[in-house]
Structure 1
Amino acid sequence: MEPETVTQSQPALARAVNLNQPRVLVLNVSYEPLHVCSVKRAITLMMYGIAEVIENSDDVVRSPSTVMPVPSVIRLKRYIRRPRVHPIPFSRRNVMRRDFYTCQYCGSRQDLTLDHVLPRSRGGRHIWENVVVACRSCNQRKGNKTPEEIGFRLRVPPKAPSFGLYAYGHASEWQPTWQKYIY
């Protein structure tokens, strides 16, 4: 007998799932994103009838008697009132998270710094809409000029992030299926 091999139709069965990893998007009844929770917490919310699955990932969780797909997006069944959250604090770390640790001029991920689109010496402010991630060489080439003057083009216009994924540090756990739920 030949040993069983993993085929293309079974990729999820071969991967181990870390149940404590924050990778499930939790939505309010109104489909407003609330936060990101662990797989273990999401399954608990589903088992107690507090949440329902909106989308599943390709992974599965196995027990001796059950095989369950790992949820990617869940929605609570009751509305949770949330006080107006303070804006995400402006910091070097949060700017790096917003720009996915990538130079906004050349796309490099090495030797990163922060750059003021309109330089501070020319009246630029230290705010979300004026600060981007730039590699050291692009930042030095740009110097005291605007991107247009030097011939640079921003990959994404800078703006303040609107959802707390950046503040909670889960940008690295971003799932492509979340795109339609995060505004």
Structure 2
Amino acid sequence: MGKVLVLNASYEPLNITSWRRAVVLLIKGKAEQVEHNGKYIYSGFPLPTVIRLRHYVRVPYKEIPLTRRNLLHRDSHSCQYCGYIGDDLTLDHVIPRSRGGGDSWENIVTACVRCNVRKGNRTPKEANMLLDVAPRKPYSGLYFEVTKHLKNGVNQEWRKYVIGI
């Protein structure tokens, strides 16, 4: 049936849950329906796609791990220099490690082997290779999950509740 985006009372995204859990929260009065897709569970009860909790929930900040998988997802599995999309992508340090560049969201991008070798031990400016998008740290861990759904063409109504998409 689908997944449901759960918003805090302040309309910030909290997580993605199953439609069954969302319906339970609605029936118990702990949440209200914000969006639905036109499908009905039964007459007069539309299937929710976005719900909002009635009471604010404090969520501790959670650091997003800097992993190859997360970097590939952030960069849409494409070379940030030439736009190549494929499986044989590498990770490139914008400012090379030998020049003091560290491992951070703002300094690592995905690159095809050809561009990575061409850039070598230089900065993009020195190699005359411009980045398509400046690398940045994602807003939240939920960002990854939501963008997967949006890229598949599902749940486009979530777009207005998530910053940076």
Which of residues 20, 23, 26 in structure 1 aligns to 2:6?
26
Q: Secondary structure at the match of 1:149?
A: coil
Verify: 1:172 aligned to 2:148, yes or no. Answer: yes
Residues 19-98 of structure 1 aligned to structure 2 (within 5 Å)? 19=2, 23-57=3-37, 60-62=39-41, 65-66=42-43, 69-83=46-60, 85-98=61-74
Whichever of the two has the greater Rg, that structure is 1
Question: Structure 2: 5+ residue runs without aligned partners?
Answer: none
| Inter-CA distance 52–120: structure 2 relative to 1 (3 Å threshold) | same
Amino acid at match of 1:178: W
1:170, distance to aligned residue in structure 2 (A): 5.4
Residues 98 and 166, structure 1, Cα contact 8 Å, conserved in 2: no
TM-score, length-scaled by structure 2: 0.81
Question: Structure 1: 5+ residue runs without aligned partners?
Answer: 1-16
Residues 143 and 162, structure 2, Cα contact 8 Å, conserved in 1: no
TM-score, length-scaled by structure 1: 0.74
Q: Secondary structure at the match of 2:24?
A: helix
Match of 2:113 in 1: 136
Residues 6 and 17, structure 2, Cα contact 8 Å, conserved in 1: yes
Residues 90-169 of structure 1 aligned to structure 2 (within 5 Å)? 90-110=66-86, 111-165=88-142, 169=145
Give the distance between the partners of 2:46 and 2:64, measured in 1 at CA: 33
Residues 97 and 166, structure 1, Cα contact 8 Å, conserved in 2: no
Give the distance between the partners of 1:66 and 1:50, measured in 2 at CA: 21
Residues 14 and 142, structure 2, Cα contact 8 Å, conserved in 1: no
1:53, distance to aligned residue in structure 2 (A): 2.1
Q: Secondary structure at the match of 1:139?
A: helix
Name the Cα RMSD after superposition: 2.3
1:128, distance to aligned residue in structure 2 (A): 0.8
Give the distance between the partners of 1:61 and 1:113, measured in 2 at CA: 46
1:91, distance to aligned residue in structure 2 (A): 1.4
